Amino acid sequence: MKIQIIAVGTIKENYIKDGIKFYLDKLKKIYDIEIVEIKEEEDPGTPASREKVLETEGERILYKIDRESFVIALAIEGKEVSTEEFASLVKKAFGMGYKKVVFVIGGSLGIWGKVKERADVNISFSKMTFPHQLTRLLLLEQIYYALL
């Protein structure tokens, strides 16, 4: 089983880096897992320019996704799932014969519509908005507990 996390932006805060390392170290003992970072564009401030930023980041994301992968996008408007539902979803994806499960975390502006369309499922961890850097840590923690 291969797990890939495609995330827009880099982690700057050490406390988040430490948490990510903690869960990656645990997961790498059992699973083939990698994080692919996509360059984050600056927010230009205008709605039209923001859509262009989403498109640019989205095209980079789509380029990294294999056709044979099961894709789960983390989107604020996605289906809100519990820890148990998340675990069931991940296990189901591997049970369906997919060799790779890809998780997508957008940047500060979210995820481009075409990426959400490509995803097999769009989920949300909460109705609250979290920084995308923190979402990466939360995702790893949920993957760890899902695959115990």
pLDDT digits (tens, 9 = 90+) for 29-62: 999 999 999 999 988 777 778 899 999 999 999 9
Name which of 31, 30, 113 is nearest 78 in CA terms. Answer: 113
**Reported confidence tier of residue 99, pLDDT bands at 50, 70, 90:** confident
Q: Binding site annotation covers 129?
A: yes
Q: Binding site annotation covers 94?
A: no
Q: Which range marks the domain in which residue 105 is found?
A: 2-146
**Structural domains of the chain, count:** 1
Q: Binding site annotation covers 126?
A: yes
Q: Which residues on adjacent β-strands are paired with residue 107?
A: 110
| pLDDT score, position 1 | 80
pLDDT digits (tens, 9 = 90+) for 102-141: 999 999 899 999 999 999 999 999 888 888 889 999 999 9
Q: For residue 54, what is the domain's CATH number? A: 3.40.1280.10
DSSP 49-107: HHHHHHHHHHHHHHHH--TT-EEEEEEEEEEE--HHHHHHHHHHHHHTT-SEEEEEE-B
